[in-house]
Structure 1
C-alpha cells in the first residue's frame, strides 16, 4: 500500500488589495496544508498591481514522487523548492503557492480539531474500518472520523465496533476489505505514521509476496486454529477424565442399586418414658418440672442400651440376628459371612437399627431394617421389650436403694428406743420405788413441817417462862413436845442424808432415772424422725416409678424401603464429582506452585 507523497501547500487569500514586495512579506511564514488525494493543484502567480506590466517568471511544479512497493513504508517527502531566480533590480519577486477551496479549508480545520482530541491508535483504526464498511474513501484515519461524523455515524459506538468482527478463517465476501490494508505502518525509527493512498492510474502487478497485513492475518488465523485445536484436545481429555472418574463409578453405583441390591424392609416405632403423675406435686418443685426433663437421663440410658452390643447379643440369642443376615439370597455387600464375629455383626446391627431421641418431646424413635418385613417387625417388638425391662430395672434399683436406707434407719432408731426403755424399767425395779424424787420431796416436806412445829413450841415455852409464876406442868409439857420434835427431825435428817449420799441413795437413783428418761425421750424423737423419713422415701420411691409407653406400634411393611435407588445414585454422583473436583484443584495448585 502506498500513499501520495506529502507536499507543502500555501494558502493565500484570493482578494488581496496590495502585496508588498519587501523581504518581510516574501519571507512571511505560510501554513502548510495537506493535499487530499482526489484534488488537483494548479500553480498560480500573484503579482502586485503596478503601473507597468511585468513579465511573470515561469514556475515549475515539484516532480511527483516515485511510486513505492506495498511492502515498503514511504517516508514523508519534503516539497521540492523552485530553483533560485535571477534577481532583477526593479522587479518584485512573484509569490508562488496553491489556493485551497473553502471546503478543503473546513475539512482541514475539522481534521486538526479531531487530531487534538487525543484519540488512540486503536480508535483511529476502528474509524478507518467503519468508514470503509460504509463505502467511504478517507485519506487518513482522522479524515475517516470526519467523514463518519459528517454522515451522522458515531465511529466509536459499541454496536458499530461489534459489526467489524469477522471470522478468523478468512471467510469474507469477494471485494470486502479485510480491515488491515489501511493500517498505519511502523517505520524503522519505531514511530507511527498515517496511512498513505495509492497513486491513481498506476497499474499494479500481482506479487507472490504477502503484505504484512495479510501475513499478520494468516498468522492470527493459525494461532486461532492452534488455540481451538488445543481447547478441543483439553476438552476431550476433560470429558475422558470425567467419564472415568465420575460417570463410570456413578453408573456402577446405580447399577448396583437398581439391579443387585437386596430390597430391605423398615419397621418404625415410637415410644416414650414417663413417670408416675399421681405424686408429682408431693415435693415443692414436683409440679414445675416437665415430665420429659424428669426422664431425660432414663431416655438417654435406654437409647444407649438399645444401641449397645449387649442388646445385639440378646437379640441374636432370642431371634437369630446373625442367622438372618447370613442368608445366601442377600447381596454380598449387605450379607454377613458364614461365621461372623460379634464385631462384624455389631457393625451390621448399628447400620440396620437406628434409634433417635428428641429431648424437646421426650420421644424415642426406633427404625429396624431387615430383609423380611415380618422379621423386621419382630426385631422391633423385641427391642421395645428390652427397653421396657431396662427402664423397670433402672427405676427399681433406685427405689430399692432409697427404701433400703430409710428402712435401716427406722429399724435402728426403734432398737435404740427399746433399749432405753428397758434401762429405765430396770432402774425403777432396782430402786424399789417408782419415783425417788417424790420420796425425797416428801421427806423435805416432813422436815419442814417438824421444824415449823418446833419453832412454835419454842415460842410457847418462851411465853410461859416470861410469867412470874409459870405453870410448871405446862412448861414441862412444852419441853417434852420440843424434845420429841427434835428427835423426829434428827431421824428425818438422818434419812435425808442417807438418801443423798452413796451409790444407792435416792438422789443417785433419781439422777439415773432422769438420764434414762431423757435417753428414752431422745430415742422417741429419733424413732419418729426415722418413721417420717421412711414415709418420705416411700413417696419418693413412688415418684421414681417409670413407665414405657409405646406411641406407635411396629407394623410390618409391605414395600421395600431400602435401597433408595434414585437418591443413592444422585448421592454417589455428587460424592464422586466432589472427590474429582478436590483432587483436580489440589493438582492444579501443586502444579502452579512447582512451575512458578
Structure 2
C-alpha cells in the first residue's frame, strides 16, 4: 500500500466521521458494528474504525480481540498501515495511548457527552423531572375515611297472629350496597356536593399544582370523571360494609366532603324505601276499597230483597210455616177423630158435634192458608216460596263470598303494611368520617419507584427494537 493509498484511507475515515453524528462517533458499540460490516470489503478501514472503538473502550474484550484479529490479517498482507515505527507492537501501543490521551476531555465536556447518552436522555432526565414534580411541586391531597352499612328494621312484633307474616330477618342485601355505591358516584351526588361545598371551585383553585388540579374550563363530564377518580367506594361482599374514601386538598374539607356524602346517601336510601312502601300500600288499599264496595253492594242487594218480600230469612220462615202446618194437621187429625167418636152415639144436630165441626172447618181453612204460603209469596207478582228461597240463597252466597274476599283483603292489607315497614332502610355509620392530619397522596416513594421501573422497561424495549431493526437491515 502506497502513501497515496494511506491518504485515501484517512480521507475515507474522515468522511465517515463527518457523516456520523457526534453521538455515533462517541459510541463504541456503533463503531464496532460498522467495522464488522466493512471487514470483508475494506479491512484497512475496518481496522481504523475498530481502533477508534478501542480508544473509546480500551477494556472491551470483543473490540480488543477483533482489533488483534484485524492486525494479524494486515500483517499477513504486509499492509503499510501497521508500519508506524521500528517496533510494530510498541508503536501501536504508543499510538493507542496517545489517542486515549488526545481524547481525554475536561469535566464539562464529559458531562455534555454523558447527557447525550441514550440512557441519560430517555431514563435519567425524565426521572429527574418526575422527581422534581413530586418532591417540590405536587400539591398534597388528604383522604378522609368512613364506613357505613345499610340495615333493615327487625319486623318481629308481639302479635302472635302477625308473627308468621313478619318473620325475623333483618340486614342488608347486596343490591342495596351496590345501589348506594352507584349513587355516591353519580351526577346527582356531584350536583349536591357542588351546591353545598362548591366542590368545583375547590378542585380548580389556583393554589393547587397545574398537573393534579381540575382545569377551570372543564366540562361537566370532565368534572364528573375527576370527581369519580377522587372518591373511592369499596363494598365488602361478606359483611356488606361500604367504605367511602374522599380526597381533597385539605384535611378539614375532605372530612366535610365525606360527611355530606353520607348525609345525602342516607336521605336517598330513606326516600327509596318510603317511595316503595307508599306505592305498595296505595295499590293494596285501592284493591281493598274495590272489595269493600263489592261487599257493600252485595249486602244492599240482599237488604232490598228482604224489604221487597218482607222476609228476614226465607229459609227460617219456611221452616216455621212447615212447623205450623204440621201442628195444624195434628190438631185437625185429633178433632176429626173426636168427631167420629161422637157420631157413634150422638146426632149430627147436637150442639157438641156442631161445635166440633166448626173447629174442624176452621182448622182446615187455616191449614190451607199455611200451605198456600209455602206455595206462593205475595209481592209485586206471585212467585213460589221456593223461588224466593232460591233468590235469597243467591244473594246470600254473594254476601258470603264478598265477606271472604273482604277478610282476605284485610289480611293482605295488614301484611302489606308490615312488608312496607320492612322495606324501610336506614344507614348505620360504622366509622365516622375521619379528619386526616397527614396527606395520603401523592405517595412519593411509590410514584418515583414506579416511574423508574417504567422508564427502564421502556428504554430496554426501545433498545431491543433498534437492535432488531439493525440486525434485519
Aligned ranges 1:104-503 → 2 under 5 Å: 240-277=117-154, 279=156, 282=163, 286-287=167-168, 291=171, 294-452=172-330, 485-499=363-377, 502=381
Residue pair 1:499, 1:505 contacting (<8 A) in 2 also: yes
Is 2:426 the partner of 1:566?
A: no
Residue pair 2:273, 2:424 contacting (<8 A) in 1 also: yes
Is 2:468 the partner of 1:578?
A: no
Q: CA 1:256 to 1:514, structure 2 compared with 1: closer, same or farther past 3 Å?
A: same
Is 2:441 the partner of 1:556?
A: no
Counterpart-to-counterpart distance in 2, 1:483 and 1:436: 29
Counterpart-to-counterpart distance in 2, 1:290 and 1:579: 54
Counterpart-to-counterpart distance in 1, 2:200 and 2:64: 72
Deviation of 1:402 (Å): 2.5
Counterpart-to-counterpart distance in 2, 1:526 and 1:338: 65
Q: Unpaired segments of 5 or more residues in structure 2?
A: 1-61, 66-74, 78-87, 93-112
Counterpart-to-counterpart distance in 2, 1:424 and 1:323: 75
Counterpart-to-counterpart distance in 1, 2:427 and 2:220: 29
Deviation of 1:451 (Å): 4.0
Deviation of 1:505 (Å): 5.1
Counterpart-to-counterpart distance in 2, 1:313 and 1:328: 22
Instruction: Give per-residue Cα distances to partners, 1:5-30, cap 9 Å, x unaligned.
Output: xxxxxxxxxxxxxxxxxxxxxxxxxx
Instruction: Give per-residue Cα distances to partners, 1:366-387, cap 9 Å, x unaligned.
Output: 1111122222221111111111
Aligned to 2:421: 542
Counterpart-to-counterpart distance in 2, 1:482 and 1:250: 134
Deviation of 1:242 (Å): 3.0
Instruction: Give per-residue Cα distances to partners, 1:262-316, cap 9 Å, x unaligned.
Output: 11222222222122135399568954x672xx33211111111111122112211
What is the DSSP-based 3-state SS (H/G/I as helix, E as strand, rest coil) of the residue aligned with 1:499? coil
Q: CA 1:508 to 1:569, structure 2 compared with 1: closer, same or farther past 3 Å?
A: same
Counterpart-to-counterpart distance in 2, 1:320 and 1:591: 58
Report how many residues are paired.
367
Counterpart-to-counterpart distance in 2, 1:552 and 1:442: 79
Instruction: Give per-residue Cα distances to partners, 1:490-544, cap 9 Å, x unaligned.
Output: 4444443332995655444433333333322222222222221122122222222
Aligned ranges 1:41-60 → 2 under 5 Å: none
Query: Structure 1 residues 361-370 or 503-512, which shifts more?
Result: 503-512
Instruction: Give per-residue Cα distances to partners, 1:228-248, cap 9 Å, x unaligned.
Output: xxxxxxxx99x9333333333
Q: What is the root-mean-square deviation in Å for CA atoms of aligned residues?
A: 4.1
Counterpart-to-counterpart distance in 1, 2:305 and 2:63: 132
Counterpart-to-counterpart distance in 2, 1:343 and 1:272: 29
Query: Structure 1 residues 325-334 or 245-254, which shifts more?
Result: 245-254
Counterpart-to-counterpart distance in 2, 1:432 and 1:278: 52
Q: CA 1:503 to 1:322, structure 2 compared with 1: closer, same or farther past 3 Å?
A: farther
Instruction: Give per-residue Cα distances to partners, 1:189-213, cap 9 Å, x unaligned.
Output: xxxxxxxxxxxxxxxxxxx999xxx
What is the DSSP-based 3-state SS (H/G/I as helix, E as strand, rest coil) of the residue aligned with 2:117? helix
Counterpart-to-counterpart distance in 1, 2:256 and 2:191: 15
Structure number with bigger Rg: 1
Q: Give the TM-score normalised by the residue count of structure 2.
A: 0.66
Residue pair 2:231, 2:246 contacting (<8 A) in 1 also: yes
Deviation of 1:322 (Å): 1.0
What is the DSSP-based 3-state SS (H/G/I as helix, E as strand, rest coil) of the residue aligned with 1:578? helix
Aligned to 1:510: 389
Q: CA 1:249 to 1:408, structure 2 compared with 1: closer, same or farther past 3 Å?
A: same
Counterpart-to-counterpart distance in 1, 2:145 and 2:463: 43
Q: Give the TM-score normalised by the residue count of structure 1.
A: 0.53
What is the DSSP-based 3-state SS (H/G/I as helix, E as strand, rest coil) of the residue aligned with 2:245? strand
What is the DSSP-based 3-state SS (H/G/I as helix, E as strand, rest coil) of the residue aligned with 1:263? coil
Counterpart-to-counterpart distance in 2, 1:537 and 1:511: 39
Residue pair 1:500, 1:507 contacting (<8 A) in 2 also: no
Residue pair 2:146, 2:433 contacting (<8 A) in 1 also: yes
Counterpart-to-counterpart distance in 2, 1:280 and 1:442: 50
Q: CA 1:463 to 1:306, structure 2 compared with 1: closer, same or farther past 3 Å?
A: same
Instruction: Give per-residue Cα distances to partners, 1:546-570, cap 9 Å, x unaligned.
Output: 1212222223322222111111011
Q: CA 1:472 to 1:591, structure 2 compared with 1: closer, same or farther past 3 Å?
A: farther
Query: Structure 1 residues 531-540 or 412-421, which shifts more?
Result: 412-421
Deviation of 1:389 (Å): 1.0
Q: Select the residue among 398, 402, 409 that pairs with 1:530.
A: 409
Q: CA 1:442 to 1:395, structure 2 compared with 1: closer, same or farther past 3 Å?
A: closer
Counterpart-to-counterpart distance in 1, 2:314 and 2:138: 99
Q: Unpaired segments of 5 or more residues in structure 1?
A: 1-166, 171-207, 211-217, 223-235
Query: Which structure is higher in RCO with an 8 Å CA cutoff and minimum separation 6?
Result: 2
Aligned ranges 1:49-128 → 2 under 5 Å: none
What is the DSSP-based 3-state SS (H/G/I as helix, E as strand, rest coil) of the residue aligned with 1:556? coil
Higher-helix-fraction structure: 2
Counterpart-to-counterpart distance in 1, 2:328 and 2:211: 116
Counterpart-to-counterpart distance in 1, 2:333 and 2:199: 110
What is the DSSP-based 3-state SS (H/G/I as helix, E as strand, rest coil) of the residue aligned with 1:243? helix
Aligned to 2:82: none
